[in-house]
Structure 1
Amino acid sequence: MASNFDFLHSRYPTLFEHAAHAESLVYAAPRASCFYARFTLEQAVHWLYENDPYLQLPYDESLGALIHEPTFQDNLKPGLFPKVRAIQKMGNTAVHAATLITEKDALRLVEELFHFLYWLSRSYSPNAKNHPSVTFDRNLIPQPSAASQPDLSRQQLQNLETQLSQVDEMRRIAEARQQQTEQELAALKAELAALKQHNEAVPDPHNYNEAETRRYLIDVLLKEAGWNIEQPNWTEYEVQGMPTDSGKGRVDYVLWGNDGKPLALVEAKRTRKSPAEGKHQAKLYADCLEQRFGQRPVIFYSNGYTTWIWDDTNYPPCEIQGFLKRDELERLIFRHSNRKPLHRLLVNPAIVERSYQTEAIRRITETFDDKNGRKALLVMATGTGKTRTAIALIDVLMRANWVKRVLFLADRNALLTQALRAFKSHLPTATAIDLSTGGDAETANVVLSTYPTMFNRIHRSAEGQRIFGPGHFDLVIVDEAHRSIYKKYRFLFEYFDSLLVGLTATPRAEVHRDTYRIFELESGVPTFAYELSDAISDRYLVPPRGIKVPFKFMQ
């Protein structure tokens, strides 16, 4: 029987086999179909990394890291990345979440896979002019028969996922890359550049169906945050008061609270357009909803590729890695009217009693409150109480209703052990846990973690929802902020939509390791500094003494 993926058969037989299998299961076993669509995508992505020398290997071998590598995204035809992301995300949901997976989901993923594989086949074809021109035909998808096997369970798919793991394959590709000489890479790049230039000169009339992908990916991201949008008034919600002839408008999505009031709205823009083009219209919709319900919603605007959040009562828009859950939006709405001015709250002298520690906290609260900033950097000499100062700051922010959940990051387990002991001693009202040793992170309001532990947790899901979504923490504190916060782990600070405070004794100001730049500060000018010379002058520390230790070899 003919398949939508027949164009792959001659040059990519393995990809054809897996894609056709996903296609055959659309109606008979939609959950398994979504899994095989993601598996086929993974195979195709590996082929690209193996055969395209322009693609740079990322920090991690996972599919998520591979597709988010900038060189991979830049290589794609505009509008394709949302398709890739939808396959990856919905494939993960099919394996790890109890969420209902429908025939509609499987059909969407197989169609998105078709468009991506068509682009791959045409772009890397020896002659794009003679590449077959095909369109996706839903009539080619086989209907289930009486002999069809039942859909696979999540446990079966998880076992299959382990069995078919591609981690070793990516390691093989990385090792092969390392063995290539500069001359070999240069020759491969020149050959590929000529091929792509030739193929791009041939017009591509293929309809990649961007609009439906954009809406579907936004649906997937909302579902990942726990929103059930299959309800009346959640999509295309009509509002009054728009500056149009009729005064009417339709909001793409409204996220409602349990009290029937709007918590947020989502304005969806075309993939090829910047999401910022929806900013003004989204604000007008927020005005209409506020006028009707007496509550201003948080604004999101997205093109399926990038998403922005705008809590316009407090902060300017900023990019975010998804949508917020209901309880996270409720916290934002609560703060609109219940957040206290930070200068009115006293620092608890039972936690810190030294004047420079109190001054450090005041500098940060001024940055957050008076200057409307979201990032701060404390430079304090070792031994001057950085951790206790951070705990006293958390105490102030919690009492002022600015912060409920805190993430404390460090690069060594020994630092976490010391910090956990300090939290339990000086802030007993908070529930603090060390994530690397277990504990219920859902109920804890202070989570301590190393960079790798949190990095490996942020993409995990439970019952279809991210455990640590981008809005989970209200404050992230980075201990030893001069180490481990560049390149790979910098993603952690860009992922969480939170206040950010760095603690360090020795900030860096190098081109590729600039601590100040990460905290959006002028080089050499931290939010507050109390250095070794200050501590010695104030008699809190003693100066170092050199000890002469002669060695026979040196003599």
Structure 2
Amino acid sequence: MLVSNFKFLSVKWPVLANLGEIAERNLHHDPNTTIFKLRLYGEQLVGAIFAYEGKQEPRPNNQVTKINFLYSCGIIPEAIYNFLNDIRKKGNEAAHEGHDSKQDATDLLRATLQLSIWFFRTYEDDQFQPLTFIEPIKVQSSTELKKQLDDLTTSNTHQINLLKEKLDELRLREVSKEETILRRARSIVALSAIRLTEKDSRKLIGEQLTKLGWFCPEESYSQGARPTEGINSAIAKWPLNDKYMADYALFLGTKLVAFIDTKSQGRDPYSQLGRIIKNATNVIRRDTEDFVTLNNDNLIPFVFAANGLLKINSGIWFYDTRKNTNIPRIISSWYSPQGFIDLLRVDKDLSVKRLEHESIDYLSDFRDYQIKAIKKIEEALLESRNNLLVNMASGTGMTRMAVGLIYRLLKTEIFKRILFLVDRISVGHKAYEAFRETKLEGNFNLTDIYNIECFDSRNFDLKTRVSIETVQSIVRNLENPNSVFSVDTYDCIVIDGLYWSGELDNDLSYINSMFINKEDYQGKYMSAFDYFDATKIVLTTNSEKNLEYLFGEPVFTYLYENAISDGHLLGYKVTKMGLLSEQKYGKGFLTVEEVQLDKLILTEKFVRSVMVELIEHIDPLSNKKTIVFASSNDHAELIVNILRELLVNKYENLDKNTVVQITSSVDDVQQKIRLFENERLPNIAVSVDILTIGINVPEVCNLVFLRQVKSKMLFENMLLRASRLSFKIDKQYYNVFDAVGVFETLG
């Protein structure tokens, strides 16, 4: 008797091993049962994943909801999501429509084995070596077959009874963040070990193309499939010449615009690119197809080389054949029909000439260094650089500079749609204000000239020229199986403030609980802009080596020191208090262990002592504002309560809105920020992370550090929250009150 492909599961997951073997034994005489059993297999495996992850199964409690949940949470990668959905759909057809294709059953067995290998390596043994699928041998004796199936069914019934106990035990386990991170890493490695045949790759690619809006007929070219006017189609096995057949040919109507060459997963598609590109020129014309150009050097403008996984040496390589100077590049997914329409519509050479000759006189109200930054960025773009880093000190009008740049890039058609990416809603609102207020050509602003959308990714419109979105909204959309985004949705991404490359200090509560930890946040931040086949322009106030490694040296730099020297920002005066006040604590106090120090900072006694000292330096009845940086939401609440108490005792009839907490735990955060920016009250804001970046209120004259800061990059950003000049108050410099020794810690 032939050993089952699923034998390796028998020790840890016998119920899966039995279901897999039952499916195999039925293949030749009852493929309908094979497909149905594999559907049950998929359901049991999904239940096991939920138990391992310690997740509550969503409602409604059906397979499609569960699969979507696992995918949207980042627990299963796209290839596994596709495997599970294929098994579910085919299983439903077998159960309700009597579907009994032996070929489909064989393909599904092969896919289920790959799925099982991923599961086993992710959750059980990451050293397990992948198996090669062996098609089950037909059992000639019906008596022998019946005995085999009876034995397997009896065993399976017993195992299902034991399964509930095992799943209950798994659910009771506490899953640590470290274990979750390790499991995600194992999942990626396990996925890379899956071996897809060229047929499997074509099938997977066909499903992906369909999601992007391509019509993929079931028939191939030899079976009669042909392009049709008005339909964007992807036709399998299209002969380009007498010797070569493309796995898919992509047509906009009857115009052949691209073809796809797939390799089995073990083969490197990049090494085949030369031959594949050559086939784009060596094309035999047929009556059924049109060409974008009659130039025989590039009859087909775009080519893809790919296999089953989207990674270097095992993913999607894309090449634009229209210029010999173009370089093949790795991309995350396929182009949509609209993406090709956009590429063919714009003459890049003409756009470059427009930008080279575009006058900059209408930006005369911009500062000299802002004009210089725009010119430097444009020069880098004209040199075909796709990753650009710009380092400008906070408060120097970097967003305003970006508005002028974006207008020029859209006007000259260098780019068609731009994503303005931020990591918090408050920064996005500030950017939108800059778009509305910055005057451009003809005294119009950007929102007068182009369609600008702010935080509306779910209702994305192709007419939108600039989308302002948070990292969180883009990540959620990309994790959604029904995402509206394709890799060509944006051709430029302006990233306003990339701060994660340095060490982040806190628990990311100001961003979102969707991130497991700092590393997860960093990885998803990257995915939010790496997914798109777009030029990245990174605007940062702190250029660190990590950023330079990713995006190259800054094309333009304007530092805090430059801004002070030029009279655009103010310097500061440091006052040591709290822990550093020698008359209270003595010089040796800073030798306290860091853990003890962190605990001391949170105590009411310490906070009260600092606040007693602080209110002697600030005037809450004036227009001069104060930001206090706290360690946590609870710490911020404690500071607010003590500060209000002390101020009420000192000032009669003090308005209760004088001191407010602006953290992720309070209601109406955006409203409180707007009031702090634009009204006299609140006068004192206590925050954790929300006011550390992207907020510049000219009336802020005092910064109070009541928290430890481990990241020098974050500290420098916090330090510049009060650096702006003010025309409403007399402000020659601003005060920084260090109550915890942050200057000593970070030098």
Residue aligning to 1:311: 320
1-structure distance, mates of 2:401, 2:566? 17
| Match in the other structure for 2:526 | 490
Match of residue 299 from structure 1: 303
| Correspondent of 1:257 among 228, 252, 257 | 252
1:397 to partner: Cα distance: 1.4
CA gap 1:14/1:377 in 2 versus in 1, 3 angstroms: same
Quote the offset at 1:529 in angstroms: 0.5
- CA, structure 1 residues 407+208, in 2 after alignment: closer, same or farther (shift >3 Å)? closer
Cα displacement (A) at 1:330: 1.5
Partner of 1:424: 436
Alignment correspondent of 1:413: 425
Deviation at 1:534, TM superposition (A): 1.7
Q: Equivalent residue for 1:113? A: 112
User: How far apart are residue 5 of structure 1 and its match?
Assistant: 8.0
1:309 is paired with a residue of what secondary structure? Answer: strand
Q: CA deviation at 1:280?
A: 0.8
Deviation at 1:491, TM superposition (A): 2.0
Contact preservation (8 Å) 2:209, 2:334: yes
Q: CA deviation at 1:311?
A: 2.3
Give the whole-Å Cα distance in 2 for the aligned partners of 1:92 and 1:431: 41
In the alignment, structure 1 residue 516 sits paired with structure 2 residue 548:
yes
CA distance in 2 between counterparts of 1:22 and 1:43 reads 19
Aligned to 1:499: 535
* Cα distance in 2 between the residues matched to 1:357 and 1:111: 59
| Alpha-carbon shift at residue 340 of structure 1 (Å) | 3.4
Q: Tell me, in whole angstroms, the C-alpha distance in 2 between the residues paired with 1:378 and 1:171.
A: 49
SS in 2 for 1:174: coil
Q: How does 1:201-216 map to 2 (within 5 A)?
A: 210-216=197-203
Task: Choose the corresponding residue for 1:362, options 370, 375, 378.
Answer: 375
Alpha carbons 1:378, 1:501 under 8 Å: kept: yes
After superposition, the Cα gap between the structure-2 partners of 1:139 and 1:546, relative to the gap in structure 1 and judged at 3 Å, is: farther
1:225 aligns to 2:212 (yes or no): yes
Alignment-derived partner of residue 488 in structure 2: 471
* Superposed displacement of residue 122, structure 1: 11
2:341 aligned partner: 330
Residue 527 of structure 1 pairs with residue 540 of structure 2: no
Structure 2 distance, partners of 1:20, 1:446, is 54
5+ long unaligned stretches in structure 1: 51-59, 69-80, 96-100, 141-165, 180-188, 190-206, 241-245
Are the counterparts in 1 of residues 339 and 488 from structure 2 also a CA contact under 8 Å?
A: yes
Q: How do 1:363-402 and structure 2 match up within 5 A? A: 363-369=376-382, 371-402=383-414
Contact 2:420 2:495 in 1 (8 A): yes
Give the AA of the match of 1:387. T
Q: How far is the alpha carbon of 1:374 from its aligned partner? A: 0.4
Give 1:448 deviation, angstroms: 1.6
% identical equivalent positions: 20
Alpha carbons 1:15, 1:43 under 8 Å: kept: no
Q: Does 2:261 match 1:267?
A: yes
1:3–1:20 CA contact under 8 A, matched in 2: no
Q: How big is each residue's C-alpha offset from its partner over 1:340-392, in whole Å with a ceiling of 9 and x where there is no partner?
A: 332222347359622211211111111111x2110111111111111111122
* CA contact 1:254–1:266 (8 Å) conserved in 2: yes
AA aligned to 1:239 is: L
Query: Would you say the 8 A contact 2:71–2:480 is kept in 1?
Result: no
Residue 549 of structure 1: CA displacement? Answer: 6.1
Change (3 A) 1:438 1:12: closer
Question: What is the CA distance between 1:327 and its match in structure 2?
Answer: 0.6
Deviation at 1:499, TM superposition (A): 0.5
Structure 1 residue 237 displacement after superposition: 2.4
Offset of 1:493 from its aligned partner?
2.9
Distance of 1:133 and 1:437 partners within structure 2? 42
Determine helix, strand or coil for the equivalent of 2:538: strand
Conserved? CA contact 2:71–2:81, under 8 Å: no
How big is the alpha-carbon RMSD for the aligned residues of Structure 1 and Structure 2? 4.7
2:352 to 340, 344, 358: 340
Shift, 1:336, TM fit = 4.2
* Residues 532/458 of structure 1: CA separation in 2 closer, same or farther (3 Å cut): same
Q: How big is the shift at 1:487? A: 3.1
Instruction: Describe the SS at the equivalent of 1:299.
Output: strand
Deviation digits for residues 47-97 of structure 1, max 9, x if unmatched? Answer: 8989xxxxxxxxx974884455xxxxxxxxxxxx96x464157579999xx
1:473–1:496 contact (8 Å) kept in structure 2? yes
Q: Counterparts of 2:467 and 2:19 in 1: how far apart (Å)? A: 41
Which structure has the larger Rg over C-alpha atoms?
2
Q: Is the 8 A contact 2:475 2:528 kept in 1?
A: yes
Mapping 1:166-181, distance limit 5 Å? 172=173, 174-175=175-176
Residues 40 and 396 of structure 1: CA distance in aligned 2, closer, same or farther (over 3 Å): farther
In structure 2, the CA distance between the partners of 1:118 and 1:350, relative to structure 1 (3 Å rule), is: closer
Corresponding residue for 1:282?
Answer: 276
- Matches of 2:418 and 2:49, distance apart in 1: 36
SS of equivalent to 2:303: strand
Contact 1:315-1:372 within 8 A present in 2 as well: no
Question: AA paired with 1:406?
Answer: I
AA aligned to 2:358 is L
1:375 touches 1:501 (CA, 8 Å); kept in 2?
yes
Partner of 2:16: 15
8 Å contact from structure 1 (residues 458, 469) kept in 2: no
Residue by residue over 1:494-552, the C-alpha shift from the partner in whole angstroms, topping out at 9 and shown as x without a partner, is 2111010111111222xxxx111121x1xxx3110111122222222233344566776
1:532, 1:171 → 2: CA distance? 53
| 1:176-234 C-alpha deviation (Å, 9 max, x unpaired) | 9769xxxxxxxxx9xxxxxxxxxxxxxxxxx9772321221222222222222324262
Partner letter of residue 328 of structure 1?
A: G
| 2:460 equivalent to 1:451 | no
Aligned residues: 452
User: Does structure 1 retain, via aligned residues, the 8 Å contact 2:458–2:477?
Assistant: no
Deviation at 1:441, TM superposition (A): 5.0
Residue 488 of structure 1 deviates from its aligned partner by 3.4
For 2:550 and 2:118, how far apart are their aligned partners in 1? 37
**Alpha-carbon distance between aligned partners in 1 of 2:524 and 2:170, rounded to the nearest angstrom:** 21
Partners of 1:111 and 1:136 within 8 A in 2: no
CA distance in 2, matches of 1:320, 1:221: 14
Q: Which amino acid counterpart does residue 466 of structure 2 have in structure 1?
A: V
How far the C-alpha of 1:118 sits from its partner, in A, is 6.7
Secondary structure, counterpart of 1:469 in structure 2: coil
In the aligned structure 2, how far is the partner of 1:222 from the partner of 1:268?
13
Change beyond 3 A, Cα 1:215–1:296: closer
- Structure 2 vs 1, CA of residues 218 and 380 (structure 1 numbering), >3 Å: closer, same or farther? same
The answer to whether the 8 Å contact 2:491/2:533 transfers is: yes
SS of corresponding position for 2:388? strand
Deviates more, 1:415-424 or 1:12-21: 12-21
Q: Are 1:407 and 1:448, in contact at CA under 8 Å, matched by a contact in 2?
A: yes
Question: What secondary structure is seen at the aligned counterpart in 2 of 1:387?
Answer: helix
1:457 CA drift (Å): 0.8
Label 1:171 to 1:295 Cα distance change in 2 as closer, same or farther (>3 A). farther
Consecutive unaligned residues in structure 2, runs of 5 or more: 55-68, 92-96, 141-166, 181-185, 187-193, 218-224, 228-234, 284-292, 310-314, 438-444, 502-520, 585-608, 614-747
Q: Give, in angstroms, the shift of residue 324 of structure 1.
A: 0.8
Instruction: Give the direction of change, closer, same or farther, for the CA distance of 1:437–1:476 in structure 2 (3 Å limit).
Output: closer
Residues 383, 283 of structure 1: CA spacing in aligned structure 2 closer, same or farther, 3 A cutoff?
same
Whether the 8 Å CA contact 2:71–2:479 is kept in 1: the answer is: no
The aligned residue for residue 353 of structure 1 is 366
Larger RCO, structure (CA 8 Å, separation 6 or more): 1
